[in-house]
Amino acid sequence: MKYTVILIALSLLVLSGCSLPGLGDGNAKDDVKITTTETSETKIIGNMEKLMIEHETNGKIKPTLIGNLGSSIIQHNALQRGDVNMSSVRYTGTELTSVLDAKPTKDPKKAMSETQRLFKKKYDQKYYDSLGFANTYAFMVTKETAKKYHLEKVSDLKKYKDKLRLGMDTQWMNRAGDGYPAFVKDYGFKFDSARPMQIGLVYDALKNKKLDVAVGYSTDGRIAAYDLKILKDDRKFFPPYDGSPLATEKLIKDNPKIDKALKKLQGKINTKEMQKLNYEADGKGKEPAVIAEEYLKKHHYFDDEKGGQK
């Protein structure tokens, strides 16, 4: 409870425009501060970026990870104040509808190009090409449930809306644009039983048959570990959520080797690989820093010029 209160207090400080304690000025030439959220995914990628930058600069630059910044808006505000100068992973669909206040698009290429254009134009920040995976919201069921009700796509759920129990991330329950209210309007039905809960509890509840259907994240490692089935979003309701790092143009102009390091990760990690990496943390309890270093060593990022050659 104490930890939760501290996190809330820190978030309020960021939203109110006050610098976070201990952050100082993130604008010094060699002072690299990278934001992550509470998810293992952002922490794993953040540690990869930290190690890659250290390697590329021969240890001259040692980035600091600033963790548990709870949302894209909070990360953005920290960047705007100069408390930090990088984000480990941001997602196109989220950025367009929140920070950039732009019209969402269902086309991944258009979403990426528009996100990159607007970050450059509005904030003089570089939104990199995708790391190779998209972490979208997804409807999922156990394979037993899929077989019993002949479920292949999201619209198949309509027939059983009064029978199947839905669980979802608390934030998604009331999220504007791509949350549950918009889903109901787009797909034309709602569940009789729809329960908001902490995202980490959704997968276990589904596995333990306390839920029949869940809305989770497509890169979560528990999807594969629990042998869950993702239903096809046949109406293409969810926008693309390609994951990319973001950095201020000043940072990469002052330190071109940071730009070089980040580009080596572009397009290298697909969704299945990200699921496995996330499960190492969420399912097995391994530290994100360890997972990141093991991945980079396995794929030879530290021992060849191009890096990441498989």
- 97 and 104 in contact (C-beta within 8 Å)? yes
Where is pLDDT greater, at 71 or 204? 204
124 found inside a domain: yes
Distance (Å, rounded) from C-alpha 247 to C-alpha 216? 28
pTM, two decimals, is 0.83
What single-letter amino acid sits at 139? F
Q: Is 206 helix (H, G, I), strand (E, B) or coil?
A: helix
Q: Is the pLDDT of residue 71 over 90?
A: no
Q: How confident is the model at residue 97 (pLDDT cuts 50, 70, 90)?
A: confident
Report helix angle 40-56 to 288-298, nearest 10: 50
Q: Is the pLDDT of residue 11 over 80?
A: no
Domain boundary among 230, 252, 275: 230
127 found inside a domain: yes
Distance (Å, rounded) from C-alpha 78 to C-alpha 220? 27
182 found inside a domain: yes
Give which of 31, 12, 34 is closest to 21, Cα–Cα.
Answer: 12
Q: Is 274 left (phi over 0), alpha (psi -120 to 50) or beta?
A: alpha
- 128 and 244 in contact (C-beta within 8 Å)? yes
Containing domain of residue 99, as a range?
2-134+242-298
11 shares its domain with 38: yes
C-alpha distances in angstroms, 291 versus 8, 146, 221, 258, 286?
A: 28, 33, 13, 21, 7
Number of residues assigned to the chain: 310
122 shares its domain with 10: yes
Report the pLDDT value the prediction gives residue 176, as an integer from 0 to 100. 76
Report the pLDDT value the prediction gives residue 67, as an integer from 0 to 100. 93
Give which of 224, 279, 213, 250 is closest to 82, Cα–Cα.
Answer: 250
Tokens of residue 264, six digits: 């080596």
CB atoms within 10 A of CB 2: 6
Average pLDDT, the chain: 90
Report the pLDDT value the prediction gives residue 29, as an integer from 0 to 100. 57
Domain boundary among 209, 230, 251: 230
Tokens of residue 201, six digits: 């509890």
Tokens of residue 235, six digits: 């109406």
Per-residue pLDDT tens over the stretch 243-271: 999 999 999 999 999 999 999 999 999 99
- 289 and 47 in contact (C-beta within 8 Å)? yes
- Total number of domains constituting the chain: 2
113 shares its domain with 248: yes
35 shares its domain with 129: yes
- Rounded (5°) CA angle 36-90-51: 50
Per-residue pLDDT tens over the stretch 134-193: 999 999 999 999 999 999 999 999 999 999 999 998 888 988 778 899 999 999 999 999
- 160 and 145 in contact (C-beta within 8 Å)? no
130 shares its domain with 9: yes
